[in-house]
Structure 1
Amino acid sequence: MSVTHGLAFGALIAALSACSIAPHQASDEVARALEDLQRNPSSAGPGGAPTVVKGRIIVEARAGLSRGNLASILDAHGGKARQIGKSNLYIVDLPASASETAIAAVLAKNPHLKAAEPDQRIAPQFVSNDPYLGSEWHLAKINAASAWDRSQGAGVTIAVLDSGVDPSHPDLAPRLVPGWNFYDNNSNTADVFGHGTKVAGVAAAIGNNGIGVAGVAGQANVMPIRVTDLQGYAYASMIAQGLTWAADHGVRVANVSFEVAGIASVISAANYLRSKGGLVANSAGNSGLNSSTPATTSMVVVSATDSNDVRASWSNYGPSITVAAPGVLIWTSTSGGGYSAVSGTSFAAPVTAGVLGLMMAANSTLPNTQVESLLFSTAADLGASGRDIEFGYGRVNADAAVRAAAAAISTADLQAPTLSIGAPLANSTVSGWVQVDIGATDNVGVSKVELRANGVLVGTDTAAPFSFSWDSTAVPNGLNKLVGTAYDGAGNSANSSELIVNVSNSSKSVPDTSPPVIGISNPKNGSVVSGTLSVQVSATDDSGSAGISQTLLIDGVKVASASGGSLSYSWNTRKLAAGAHTIQAIARDAAGNSSTATISVSK
């Protein structure tokens, strides 16, 4: 099956400048974006026929942007956001009449969003299925048998984001662990198309059990995560959800056999998994094209090779390729308990995922960045010397990779990241929602960056460029301190220099919703009164006491009023009737917020 993928509207979105859009401008901006698409249909994606999911887009908010502020950004387009796990990604449901492409283009310009794109429907990456051809030649090619002397993947879980996995297949069932179905939003992860069972078998069909085939990591567990419809097409939003879910459930290896290396939401979710110690194997695609998708560090993108270590004619290539792996006539498990030979980058990716599982099982102390580096350095260098566009760092070599991982001592990475706050400028005056950009680098890699304002966490970003939205209305006007903290995979951390900014929010931009605090200090609640006594009331407010007005009532009758933080009243109780009496004080600030204190006394 040949497909065209990538970020279908990346060119359109990237072309838009990063400026803020006011709500009243939204309809005009959407109209202009639609006109651009009509004039230049090719900008909508390869062939002018992208596969866009109706009524749904995906946005990535800057770390720290509140749900309320995001909602106000989306309200202008009728959008409703659903957060993906604990990440900064949101699925946005749009009205039926909305243009997903145009609205994503408009939202991509909003400075408080890192990315916005239409959700996409993505084809599985296989090209043939022949039950009579081939053998497990690929295991010998990558020297799997020698690798198995040291590791067979025990203790590692490989998440397979696909059409599900046959829960009764004898070569898979004993190793399945609970996953999730993001298409139906339930726990039923049975295979609805057949693709996922094939992918799972390549990665981790049980080895040495006397039946069927052997996966690369035959003792690894498999976590099925369904992200497809009944026709086997995956959705970018569900892949992003699946990677985030897998990360939050401790998965260290995930396989995505769909061409997604150019989709911003998936890249962000893959980086989220990386920040938690995981790695993602991803298929390059089967269009036989030199893909323009740029290189990414978020995933290991895999091209397919044949038994002669030649790139398959239908395998994509280009700058995004990280490694190559066998992908022609690979014997694997099929739904219904059977076996067949299949071809496609869909199956080169799980070969690589299996090798990653072997490496992690051989040395569980190695950080993911070191595992990845060893995978690259031990690969058989094919084609041009060094990394190239056809084979990346080379065709994976399971034995060499496992040997290197087993022998490696977890690198004592003692070097902390370096970072600095690039925006806003030091000593600048800011107000409202403030864009904060932090540059961070590390000798191995930055796993996450946090921003704090006056010691309070604003947000956490797991992917460069590290950017935040800070609500300056939550702090007092005047000088405030911003500090960034960067972490690497080894747990080293470093703080940026303190950045001092002057917060200046007007009362209009910072609505006062806090009522004054009021109390009656004399007489005491429940006391017995007689003669003439002084009733004492005091009040405070976050905007200062000057705007406070106070009213004193006795038995419901107003007897005194005052401005400011205190009120005194001389109360002659001699004419009071015997029994209980109520004293009530009311304070109101300049914004109209009020509070009440009430006590009861007796005579």
Structure 2
Amino acid sequence: MRQLDATRRAENLRAPRCGSLQALFLAVVLAIALAAAPAEAASATLVTEREDCNPEAGVVKLPGGEPWAQKRLDIKTAWRLSTGAGVRVAVIDSGLDIEHPQLPWLSIFIDLTGTGYTDCVGHGTAVTGIIAGRVYPGVAFHGVAPQASIIELKQSNQAEGHVANLAAAIDRAVQLDADVINISIRAADHPALKAAVQNALARDIVIVAAAGNITQKNEEKPAYPGSYEGVLAVGSATPDGRRADSSNTATPVGVLGPGMGIIAPWPRGAYKVDLEGSSFGAAYVSGTAALVRARFPHLDQEQVRRRIVATADGSVGKGTGAGMVNPVLAVSAVLPFEPAGRPVVAAPPAPPIAADAIAKVQPEDVHARNLSLAVMTGALILVAVAGALALVLPLGRSRGWRVDRPH
């Protein structure tokens, strides 16, 4: 059995089980991208739930080929510089299938719903898998930061979350020293939620939140906490890099993340192959934030957010922010606005050489060259003559300067 902290063990004793004993260790996380009801938003107390645990069925075998999101983001290339090791990502969602073979070892699992350590919707399992899913033999899917540690905070057991639980989960993530908080949830503005976000930002935690989805039930209006200042709000992108039609444009989007046709882990050791929404785009960006925090631990949360935005692929149009997140550039680019004297990957390029730094080449003096050649030639001739005389004179003396004649 996997090791969990004392808090989890204590809560596990008093939390009602959802289904059989085996179901308690299955994790399926909820697509909680819907706004909290007004009555819920007005409450400041935790809301516990009693619901049947019956997530949608997933598939056991994935379709062939690597998921488009992984290929588009080129995640494995980013792993040459960072895999997220040492970074703690808090996932506030609907729970987790802790027995899924690709899901990471948990450092902590906190249940704020009173329904046990299960994912009865699937959303939390999918989001966590995208952030930190491990490589598994024979499976094409993997997460963005496979060496990151996960703090799972279950704040809902159904399709809609509770703003009081969300605020309390953020506070718990702060207490547990999270480095990144992923909030794939759309809630209403509330003083308690805003205070929790501000406290987390002040404690140097990167907060990534979904921009929200446009549905018949959910009109286009700002989503929270994504609309709070300092939060990196993420919209949903299609495989060709444009904003998905369902991605909310009322929230001030910082970047886009893959959010259509998404493949991710699902409860009971399965996978879901048709996921859609800014929730999953936010998960890809949270994974990227984990890579950046592991690679550049000296950067504060604001600098991490700026780096992710500055290295995005670029886009135009409302609700697209800086464009598609780019994990490779996020962990490799040299940015001029980051702390001076602390190069992040390589030293900045040297300033251009001054125009007068190199002396001009003087034109060739043909007369001097010819004179030098003539002097050299004359000297060689004199040497040759002197050598010949050195041989001939002794021979002439020995013969008395006589010349032999033929007989």
For normalisation by structure 2, the TM-score amounts to: 0.65
| Structure 1 residues 330 and 128: alpha-carbon distance in aligned structure 2, compared to 1, 3 A threshold | farther
| Structure 1 residues 263 and 303: alpha-carbon distance in aligned structure 2, compared to 1, 3 A threshold | farther
d(CA) in 2 for partners of 1:261, 1:155 = 33
Q: CA deviation at 1:318?
A: 2.5
8 A Cα contact 1:198 1:334, kept in partner: yes
Q: CA deviation at 1:411?
A: 5.3
What amino acid is aligned across from residue 160 of structure 1 in structure 2? V
Q: Secondary structure at the match of 2:196?
A: helix
8 A Cα contact 1:362 1:405, kept in partner: no
2:82 to 134, 145, 151: 151
d(CA) in 2 for partners of 1:307, 1:52 = 38
1:182 to 112, 126, 129: 112
d(CA) in 2 for partners of 1:383, 1:409 = 25
2:121 is the counterpart of 1:193: yes
| Structure 1 residues 190 and 408: alpha-carbon distance in aligned structure 2, compared to 1, 3 A threshold | farther
Identity of aligned residues (%): 25
d(CA) in 2 for partners of 1:92, 1:402 = 38
Query: Structure 1: any 5+ residue segments left out of the alignment?
Result: 7-49, 59-90, 94-118, 120-126, 414-603
**Per residue, is there more helix in 1 or in 2?**
2
Cross-structure match for 1:219: 147
Cross-structure match for 2:284: 351
d(CA) in 2 for partners of 1:340, 1:171 = 13
Q: CA deviation at 1:194?
A: 1.6
| Structure 1 residues 53 and 401: alpha-carbon distance in aligned structure 2, compared to 1, 3 A threshold | same
8 A Cα contact 1:155 1:220, kept in partner: yes
d(CA) in 2 for partners of 1:53, 1:209 = 44
d(CA) in 2 for partners of 1:406, 1:241 = 36
Q: CA deviation at 1:141?
A: 1.5
d(CA) in 2 for partners of 1:309, 1:329 = 13
Q: 1:506-585, aligned counterparts within 5 Å?
A: none
2:241 is the counterpart of 1:296: no
8 A Cα contact 2:181 2:206, kept in partner: yes
Q: CA deviation at 1:345?
A: 1.2
Cross-structure match for 2:247: 315
Q: Secondary structure at the match of 2:209?
A: strand
d(CA) in 1 for partners of 2:289, 2:144 = 10
2:262 is the counterpart of 1:330: yes
Q: Secondary structure at the match of 1:361?
A: helix
Q: CA deviation at 1:264?
A: 3.7
Q: CA deviation at 1:405?
A: 7.3
d(CA) in 1 for partners of 2:147, 2:32 = 33
8 A Cα contact 2:32 2:184, kept in partner: no
Cross-structure match for 2:323: 394
What amino acid is aligned across from residue 354 of structure 1 in structure 2? G
d(CA) in 2 for partners of 1:261, 1:323 = 21
Equivalent pairs counted in the alignment come to: 297
What amino acid is aligned across from residue 398 of structure 1 in structure 2? P
| Structure 1 residues 304 and 406: alpha-carbon distance in aligned structure 2, compared to 1, 3 A threshold | same
What amino acid is aligned across from residue 207 of structure 1 in structure 2? V
d(CA) in 2 for partners of 1:177, 1:208 = 20
d(CA) in 2 for partners of 1:353, 1:253 = 7
Q: CA deviation at 1:5?
A: 2.7
Q: Secondary structure at the match of 1:179?
A: strand
2:295 is the counterpart of 1:365: no
d(CA) in 2 for partners of 1:401, 1:323 = 12
What amino acid is aligned across from residue 220 of structure 1 in structure 2? A
d(CA) in 1 for partners of 2:237, 2:249 = 11
Deviations 1:104-130 (A, max 9, x none): xxxxxxxxxxxxxxx9xxxxxxx9988
d(CA) in 1 for partners of 2:201, 2:40 = 27
8 A Cα contact 1:327 1:348, kept in partner: yes
Q: CA deviation at 1:260?
A: 2.9
| Structure 1 residues 2 and 299: alpha-carbon distance in aligned structure 2, compared to 1, 3 A threshold | closer
| Structure 1 residues 263 and 300: alpha-carbon distance in aligned structure 2, compared to 1, 3 A threshold | farther
8 A Cα contact 2:127 2:279, kept in partner: yes
What amino acid is aligned across from residue 57 of structure 1 in structure 2? S
Q: Secondary structure at the match of 2:124?
A: helix
Q: CA deviation at 1:400?
A: 0.6
d(CA) in 2 for partners of 1:411, 1:266 = 35
Ranked by relative contact order (alpha carbons within 8 Å, sequence separation 6 or more), the top structure is 2
Q: Secondary structure at the match of 2:173?
A: helix
d(CA) in 2 for partners of 1:4, 1:139 = 26
d(CA) in 2 for partners of 1:245, 1:312 = 33
Q: CA deviation at 1:207?
A: 2.7
| Structure 1 residues 261 and 299: alpha-carbon distance in aligned structure 2, compared to 1, 3 A threshold | farther
d(CA) in 1 for partners of 2:303, 2:235 = 22
Cross-structure match for 1:253: 180
d(CA) in 2 for partners of 1:166, 1:3 = 20
8 A Cα contact 1:359 1:406, kept in partner: no
8 A Cα contact 2:238 2:244, kept in partner: yes
Cross-structure match for 2:371: none
1:160 to 91, 107, 110: 91
2:315 is the counterpart of 1:382: yes
8 A Cα contact 1:151 1:361, kept in partner: yes
2:213 is the counterpart of 1:286: yes
| Structure 1 residues 159 and 405: alpha-carbon distance in aligned structure 2, compared to 1, 3 A threshold | farther
RMSD of aligned C-alpha atoms? 3.2
Q: CA deviation at 1:401?
A: 0.6
Deviations 1:423-461 (A, max 9, x none): xxxxxxxxxxxxxxxxxxxxxxxxxxxxxxxxxxxxxxx
| Structure 1 residues 284 and 141: alpha-carbon distance in aligned structure 2, compared to 1, 3 A threshold | same
Q: CA deviation at 1:409?
A: 6.3
Deviations 1:541-570 (A, max 9, x none): xxxxxxxxxxxxxxxxxxxxxxxxxxxxxx
Q: 1:94-113, aligned counterparts within 5 Å?
A: none
What amino acid is aligned across from residue 205 of structure 1 in structure 2? G
Cross-structure match for 2:193: 266
Deviations 1:219-276 (A, max 9, x none): 11111100003x2421111111111111111101111111137444323212211111
Q: CA deviation at 1:296?
A: 2.7
d(CA) in 2 for partners of 1:280, 1:379 = 17
d(CA) in 2 for partners of 1:271, 1:142 = 30
8 A Cα contact 1:128 1:343, kept in partner: no
d(CA) in 2 for partners of 1:383, 1:257 = 24
Q: Secondary structure at the match of 1:234?
A: coil
8 A Cα contact 1:5 1:260, kept in partner: yes
Q: CA deviation at 1:300?
A: 1.1
Q: Secondary structure at the match of 2:332?
A: helix
Q: Which has the larger radius of gyration?
A: 2
| Structure 1 residues 128 and 2: alpha-carbon distance in aligned structure 2, compared to 1, 3 A threshold | farther
Cross-structure match for 2:40: 53
Q: CA deviation at 1:179?
A: 2.4
d(CA) in 1 for partners of 2:208, 2:33 = 19
Cross-structure match for 2:333: 404
Q: CA deviation at 1:137?
A: 0.8
For normalisation by structure 1, the TM-score amounts to: 0.45
d(CA) in 2 for partners of 1:298, 1:139 = 27
